Amino acid sequence: METPHTAAATPKMRGPVSQVLHPIRGRLLIAALLAGVGAMLTLVPLAGIAHVAGLVLGDNAITAHEVWRAVGVGVASLCAGMLLISTGELLAHLADNRITHHLRLAIVQRLSRVPLGWFTSRGSGEVKQAMQDDINTLHSLTAHFYTTVGRAVGAIVFSLVYLFVMDWRMAIVSILPFPGFFLFFTRALKASESNMQAFVEGMRRIDNAVVEFVNGIPVVKSFGAVGKAHGSYREAVDAFARAFVGFTRPLVGSMANANAMIAPVAVLGGVLAFGTLFVALGWIAALDVLPFALVTPGLCGPLLLLHYITHDLNNAVGAARRVQALLDTPVLEQPAPGMQQMPRGSEIGFEHVGYCYESAGRGLADINLVLKPGTTTAVVGCSGAGKSTLARLLLRFFDPTQGRITLGGVDLRQIETATLYRHIGFVLQEVRLIHASVHDNIALGRPTATRQQIEDAARTANIHARIVALPRGYDSVVGEDAQFSGGELQRVSIARAVLLDPPVLVLDEATAAADAESEVAIQDALSRFAGGRTLLVIAHRLDTVMHADQIIVLDNGTIHEQGSHGELLARKGLYARLWAQGDYSFSAELAVPSC
């Protein structure tokens, strides 16, 4: 028999929820079946009591053997039922553990292949909610919902069959309160579902506000804006409070009415009232009312369980949708097996390359550029002109929306990722180290490197002396006993690139976060490492790239000027004007092309 709860939940189960639970669906159905059969068996003692009472109070003579047999069957059924219910619960929790492990691995694997732009267009709180909170929320769906529904359906089926066998007229009047319960229960489900999106959005805003508040504490304290710092968090909490009230108010009212209708006392009172009437009319004997008085209130418990899981179920369904959306996130195109191509040389080509961001509208348009092997190409331009976008397209953090980029004559989309990053190394302005030893951080791209190779790379990057001064040297863990400044982080990143020894190197404002002393060390490390490699250098300051083989001046996302330092000065264009003014930093903000 299908309850309104299962009927309401079924349409939801046919989409993302069904996809998320697919690996464990069979286990959950078995768990529900065990719980349902167990619930049936736990009701056998009630029928046994009614049977013994009928024997004792009846006119026929009885023997102790008959009584003890009825008691034995009841106790055995109760024990078997409890065992089956416990087995079902255990199986459901094991399935929950399996799907949690599976989903977390699947999400990590998926996110490792999505474009970097996917992360920059989302708050860290949103990603954290999907990866951590939503998977935890699925626990109520996988570990409890199926077994609860199984127990409810089992109890209902057993009770209805037993009661109708005893007397169909008394069975009908005994279950009259339950349709009313289903009516209010369905209304509560619809009311809560209509407000669920606002409830979830409120939780997401709180997550983002907490992350932003924690990350911004140093700035807030520096400028004494403590009151403002709490503003966004307070607004998020207030919005969530309003959403919570809107979510719970109709749910609480409807469920209060539903629970009142099937309170055991109310159900028992109805059974006794109709039983008395039927006895008075001579339709049944007084002793025949006893089974209904014992079994019918037993229906209340399983149905009341549905109330307690309703809120958790709605949350879990929303969480499953978000998890599945994360698993469906588009990934960067990869060459088909057997179709991978190897680059022939290290020449880089940009052929009519264009890129548009989904939300910000910033991008590049019609970029045509060649980086000859062993040469240095500097890219300069105003903030927002597309310098970092150009570098990240070459690193294939995302793919161009028009045109193509080639390495050794091969489209980057036809090169396997591992092969690509053996040919192209990078040092970006934002360095991130993982929570692991310094040794493992340097060897991240080449985990098979020896200790001597790692130390040689650190020496080349001018960071070896700083590492050996740590409490445990290269075994020190980043974030615990290894704390690095911005310039030191850059040198660790350089050591990581040195270890890979790629023929192409991308430097995106590698000294942006460094002080004067660290900048000298970084420049020295890069000059030693970059020799003979194809370099793409992103820089703010013109004086740091004046010796480049070619300088690309980006303006409005297109190549405005191109040439050597001397050639650009001779043209007396934008580059020459900024050089003459001594404005080496390109501090002005310019518009970017519309997409």
Question: In this predicted structure, what is the pLDDT of residue 31?
Answer: 94
Q: pLDDT (tens digit, 9 = 90+) per residue, 13-27?
A: 446 777 888 889 899
Q: What angle do CA 135, 141, 142 make, to 5 degrees?
A: 80
* Average pLDDT, rounded, for the chain: 79
Tell me how far apart the terminal alpha carbons of the chain are, to the nearest angstrom: 56
Mean pLDDT of 82-104: 92
Q: pLDDT (tens digit, 9 = 90+) per residue, 182-200?
A: 777 777 767 666 666 666 6
Cβ atoms of 71 and 52 closer than 8 Å = yes
Which has more confidence, 205 or 369? 369
Question: In this predicted structure, what is the pLDDT of residue 595?
Answer: 37
Q: What is the rounded distance in angstroms from the CA atom of residue 293 to the CA atom of residue 46? A: 10
Sheet with 348-356, edge to edge strand ranges: 363-371, 348-356, 402-407, 410-411
Query: Is residue 9 over pLDDT 50?
Result: no
| Confidence band, pLDDT 50/70/90 cuts, at residue 233 | low
Place of tokens 């199984």: 150
Mean pLDDT check: name the lowest of 290-299, 392-401, 515-524.
515-524
Query: Is residue 485 over pLDDT 60?
Result: yes
Residue 220's φ and ψ, nearest 5 degrees, are: -60, -45
* Closest alpha carbon to 239 in 207, 211, 214, 216: 207
Q: pLDDT (tens digit, 9 = 90+) per residue, 568-588?
A: 889 888 888 877 776 544 433
Query: Is residue 3 over pLDDT 50?
Result: no
Q: How far is CA 3 from CA 170, 232, 299, 546, in A?
A: 22, 43, 13, 76
| Confidence band, pLDDT 50/70/90 cuts, at residue 468 | very high
Provide the percentage of residues in the chain whose pLDDT is more than 70.
76
Query: Is residue 353 over pLDDT 80?
Result: yes
Which has more confidence, 3 or 431? 431
Question: In this predicted structure, what is the pLDDT of residue 38?
Answer: 93
Mean pLDDT of 314-342: 80
Question: In this predicted structure, what is the pLDDT of residue 324?
Answer: 84
Looking at residue 143, the DSSP 8-state letter turns out to be: I
Question: In this predicted structure, what is the pLDDT of residue 84?
Answer: 95
Question: In this predicted structure, what is the pLDDT of residue 502?
Answer: 87
> What's the chain's length in residues?
595
Provide the percentage of residues in the chain whose pLDDT is more than 90.
14
Domains of the chain: 4-327 (1.20.1560.10), 348-581 (3.40.50.300)
Q: pLDDT (tens digit, 9 = 90+) per residue, 279-310?
A: 898 888 888 888 888 888 877 877 777 666 76
Cβ atoms of 165 and 247 closer than 8 Å = no
The residues with which 354 forms a beta bridge, in sequence order, are: 402
Q: What is the rounded distance in angstroms from the CA atom of residue 511 to the CA atom of residue 495? A: 15
Mean pLDDT of 50-71: 73
Top-ranked range on mean pLDDT: pick from 1-10, 58-67, 182-191, 258-267: 258-267
Query: Is residue 523 over pLDDT 50?
Result: yes
Which has more confidence, 262 or 342? 342
Query: Is residue 508 over pLDDT 90?
Result: no
Query: Is residue 362 over pLDDT 70?
Result: no
